């Protein structure tokens, strides 16, 4: 537990979060590892947790019949994977697959939602952090959509 507490507090996602909240989050956290090629999330399945990636690389992708996997984005150490656990109906919208040996801390979404409902300050801290991530991903997605290296831009 002490080890998980240290890992959580050292992850950039929780930078600046009060130690008492870190202690609280440990109750929702577990250490996980994935082999290369192993699916971490599957589209349509319940989004029950999110992951603080500590080591390795993960590909977020989707599948198109006849075309195979379409790669959307990679996530690496220091980043987080998954925010569908925050938004009803709590289902994954994309697949995520480990590209290499990936170690992460999984945070149980239901457990975390419960703690956020009990303590709005914690909820606000978590929301602020996810807000920044969602805004950054929206901006990146817009840039990707613009196809800025194409002839037309």
Which residue ranges make up the site for other proteins (CB under 8 A)? Answer: 57, 59, 67-74, 76, 78, 99-100, 136, 139-140, 143-144, 146-151, 153
Residue with tokens 């690389």: 57
Shortest Cβ 79–other proteins spacing (Å): 8
Q: Which is nearer to other proteins, 36 or 114 (CB)?
A: 36
Smallest distance from other proteins to CB 1, Å:
29
With respect to other proteins, which residue has the nearer C-beta, 1 or 67? 67
Q: How far is the CB of 12 from other proteins (least distance, A)?
A: 9
Of 75 and 115, CB closest to other proteins:
75
Task: Please identify, using beta-carbon distances, which residue of 30 and 74 lies nearer to other proteins.
Answer: 74
């Amino acid at each position: 537990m002490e080890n998980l507490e240290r890992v959580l507090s050292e992850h950039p996602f929780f930078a600046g979060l009060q130690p008492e909240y870190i202690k609280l989050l440990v109750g929702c956290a577990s250490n996980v590892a994935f082999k290369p090629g192993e699916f971490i999330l599957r589209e349509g399945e319940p989004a029950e947790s999110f992951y603080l990636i500590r080591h390795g690389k993960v590909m977020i992708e989707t599948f198109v019949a006849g075309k195979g996997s379409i790669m959307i984005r990679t996530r690496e150490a220091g980043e987080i994977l998954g925010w569908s656990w925050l938004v009803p109906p709590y289902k994954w919208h994309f697949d995520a697959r480990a590209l290499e040996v990936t170690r992460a801390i999984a945070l149980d979404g239901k457990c975390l939602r419960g703690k956020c409902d009990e303590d709005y300050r914690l909820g606000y801290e978590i929301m602020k952090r996810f807000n920044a991530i969602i805004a950054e991903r929206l901006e990146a997605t817009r840039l990707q959509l613009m196809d800025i290296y194409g002839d037309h831009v």
